[in-house]
Amino acid sequence: MNIEKKCEEIVRQAVRLQVSDIHIKPLEASAKVLFRLDHYLYDQEELPLEIYERMLSHLKFQAEMDIGETRKPQNGALKLYVDSKPINLRLSTLPTVNQESLVIRILPHDDKQFPLKHLSLFPNSTRKLFSLMKHSHGLVLFTGPTGSGKTTTLYSILEESKSLLQRNIITLEDPVERKSRHVLQVQVNEKAGITYASGLKAILRHDPDMIMELAL
């Protein structure tokens, strides 16, 4: 079996179904592939354990992860082209009693932004949300399940804050999911020494009015 083509086949199927995450869970003699769609996990197929191990090594290599390290969780990112379109993937491995488990997050490949008024928020809630951005200090937390709109809402708020409030906005992201021309975006890169702690320290010296930390 061509391992590279098998990986692309699974990703291609997930993209066409508009899946947010691909889960590959190792069992004793096989590995189960599941797709997360609208908050639910659906079984897709079962792979021989040997095939999964080869796929895992291939993906870890492509994502610049340590192939020889199987005892610690790892994170990585890579870009694949599916039907001539770039697809950004974020990989996360987790050691289990059988083998490393793998979760692949499929990130949007476009930089489309939505005005706050076009989001599925009540008008009164939108006004309250944006009024919080006018304060000179404070903390706003966005939490929720995968696909609930956290990232879309955050980027929309940042774009609107930049255009209406004229503030210096800096983001610290892992990874940068959508690029913006209007804010400074910093990507966490632990190998280069840019962690959340060191990145935040550097950003605070860069005269920010607003900081957004985003961990996907």
Q: For residue range 176-216, what is the model confidence (pLDDT) as tens digits?
A: 877 888 889 998 888 788 999 999 999 999 999 999 988 76
Q: Mean per-residue pLDDT for 167-178? A: 86
96: CATH: 3.30.450.90
The rounded mean pLDDT for the chain is: 87
Residue 70 and residue 99 in one domain: yes
Residue 103 and residue 19 in one domain: yes
Residue 69 and residue 22 in one domain: yes
How far is Cα 89 from Cα 91, in angstroms, rounded to an integer? 6
Residue 98 and residue 138 in one domain: no
Residue 167 and residue 95 in one domain: no
Residue 103 and residue 124 in one domain: no
The parent domain of residue 79 ranges over 3-107
Q: 82 to each of 27, 68, 88, 148, 191, how far by Cα in Å?
A: 29, 28, 10, 25, 28
Q: Mean per-residue pLDDT for 145-170? A: 82
Residue ending a domain, among 76, 107, 138, is 107
Residue 45 and residue 62 in one domain: yes
The predicted pLDDT at position 57 comes to: 96
Burial of 171 by CB count in 10 Å (0-12 exposed, 13-18 middle, 19+ buried)?
A: buried
At 81, is the pLDDT very low, low, confident or very high (cuts 50, 70, 90)?
confident
Q: Mean per-residue pLDDT for 60-78? A: 92
Q: Mean per-residue pLDDT for 133-151? A: 82
What pTM value is reported for the model? 0.74
pLDDT tops 60 at residue 107:
yes
166: CATH: 3.40.50.300
Residue 184 neighbours by CB distance under 10 Å: 14
How far is Cα 158 from Cα 206, in angstroms, rounded to an integer? 17
The predicted pLDDT at position 120 comes to: 60
Residue ending a domain, among 75, 107, 139, is 107
Residue ending a domain, among 55, 89, 107, is 107
Q: Mean per-residue pLDDT for 145-158? A: 80
Q: How many domains does the chain have?
A: 2
The predicted pLDDT at position 145 comes to: 79
At 157, is the pLDDT very low, low, confident or very high (cuts 50, 70, 90)?
confident
Residue 79 and residue 147 in one domain: no
How far is Cα 173 from Cα 1, in angstroms, rounded to an integer? 37
pLDDT tops 70 at residue 152:
yes
The predicted pLDDT at position 89 comes to: 93
Residue 95 and residue 123 in one domain: no
The predicted pLDDT at position 92 comes to: 95
Residue 83 and residue 57 in one domain: yes
In what helix (H) or strand (E) does residue 45 lie, and over which residues does it extend? strand 40-48
pLDDT tops 70 at residue 149:
yes
Residue 203 and residue 169 in one domain: yes
pLDDT in tens, 40-63: 899 999 999 999 999 999 999 999
